[in-house]
Amino acid sequence: MSLEREGNYMNESLATELIKDSKKVNKRMFILLIIVLGMWFATIGYLVYILNDVGVVEETIDIDDVETIDNSHIKIGDDIWEKSN
């Protein structure tokens, strides 16, 4: 009868050990999935940011140095300032 108990104990011990191991593996895989998804979203966000920024030219004009500007007027909002000669 003691052999039967030891056999059941060994079976239960093996089953619980396998369950514990599978829980550890599942937790690791879940963390890895979260990291990969985070990196994927960061990459997509960066790509969208870069593609939205392509072709945008920011050029500043020094109002005090109007004489060097080739255009005959400067438009700021709705106001147009004409260059004085």
Give 43-60 pLDDT, tens digit per residue.
999 999 888 877 766 776
The 3-state secondary structure of 8-21 reads: HHHHHHHHHHHHHH
Q: Which tokens go with 74?
A: 């400067």
pTM tops 0.75: no
Determine the Cα–Cα distance for residues 71 and 5; give it in Å rounded to an integer: 98
pLDDT digits (tens, 9 = 90+) for 3-41: 566 656 666 788 888 899 999 999 999 999 999 999 999
Phi, psi (degrees; rounded to nearest 5) at 49: -60, -45
Write the pLDDT tens digit of every residue in 64-81.
655 555 555 555 555 555
DSSP 16-51: HHHHHHHHHHHHHHHHHHHHHHHHHHHHHHHHHHHH
